Amino acid sequence: MTIENSGSDHTSPQWFTERSNTMGCGITLKTTAHLHCEQTPYQKIDIYQTETFGKLLAIDGFVMLTERDNFIYHEMMVHPAMFTHSNPSHVAIIGGGDCGTLQQVLKHSCVQKVTQIEIDERVTRLSEQYFPELCTANHDTRAELVFLDALQWVQQQETDSLDIIIIDSTDPIGPAEGLFKQSFYESCARVLRHDGCLVQQSESPLLHWESISTPMQAEMKKASFKHITPLFFPQPVYPSGWWSATLASRSSLDLIRDKQLRELSFETHYYNYSIHLAAFAKPNFLMK
């Protein structure tokens, strides 16, 4: 997010506070323990035990996930895109080091291979330790965990080799900044098959639409993605509590596949047919 952030409020050790002086808002969670603190070559990772939201993962002072509500984000980053494609057999996840997105992708039996490209291996190893429920698919034979720069990885992939790319990255600052640029989207367009699609988290529609979401869509269009649509979902521990992802494809998007959506072959906690339909409804103030 493009805000000033103070990270955790160390003057009050029983509370984790992420606040934005620019936006004039923030989120505070009462904690019972600071379980882990580590500075990696890429970022600072903190893990807390909270009183009501379970364990909390923060990177550089920003909330990444909590045990209580992460299922909303992970399901909505994956299933709308997976059901938009007719047969997504080869998938790449950019980022997603906590492995919750990987877990959701592998619920789809049509997937033959999914590669997760995370720059910081420590995010994954700490998730395996502190959030094992998100990492149950890590040893699935269809999964490959790669730890390097996603920009480099995408450039090295064969043309027309992927069906879906899921960009589950942090905000467009630091290591993730390049993942919101035309040059990266051009690389993604090259490796996606003709009916392939890309999905990327696109921040809060209430706070970041003009500063992040709209410029991001413009960069996608420059990279030949002709069909672009946002989808919306709640996310209580993210700024404003309202979040979005953006679907993009060079070919038309079939957003509603009734039979597949109505007959889910796996368990979800948030996502279902009605949620899928509602997620693509665009609020009036974003249609101007």
The confidence score (pLDDT) of residue 179 equals 83
Q: Which of 46, 69, 168, 171 is catalytic?
A: 168
How confident is the model over 214-228, as a mean pLDDT? Answer: 93
Mean pLDDT of all residues belonging to the chain: 90
The confidence score (pLDDT) of residue 258 equals 61
The confidence score (pLDDT) of residue 124 equals 98
Of the CA atoms within 13 Å of residue 250, those in its CB half-sphere come to 17
Strand 143-146 relative to strand 113-117: parallel, antiparallel, unpaired? parallel
What would the two tokens of residue 131 be?
């959030």
Tens digit of each residue's pLDDT (9 = 90 or more) over 242-275: 999 999 999 888 787 666 667 788 999 999 999 9
Q: Report the CATH fold assignment for 15-66.
A: Spermidine Synthase; Chain: A, domain 2 (2.30.140)
Full strand arrangement of the beta sheet holding 162-168: 143-146, 113-117, 90-95, 162-168, 192-201, 242-249, 227-234
| CATH 2.40.70.10 fits domain 70-286 | no
How sure is the predictor about 4, in pLDDT bands with cuts at 50, 70 and 90?
A: very low
How confident is the model over 203-214, as a mean pLDDT? Answer: 88
Contact by Cβ (8 Å): 40, 59: no
Place of tokens 């990279």: 223
Domain boundaries, the chain: 15-66, 70-286
- Residues contacting residue 233 through CB under 8 Å, at least 6 positions apart: 72, 73, 76, 242, 243, 244, 245, 270, 275, 279
Query: What percent of the chain stands above pLDDT 70?
Result: 92
Beta-bridge partners for 37: 46
The confidence score (pLDDT) of residue 195 equals 93
Backbone angles phi, psi at 270, to 5 degrees: -125, -50
Tens digit of each residue's pLDDT (9 = 90 or more) over 72-92: 999 999 999 999 998 999 999
How confident is the model over 195-222, as a mean pLDDT? Answer: 92
User: Is-catalytic flag, 168?
Assistant: yes
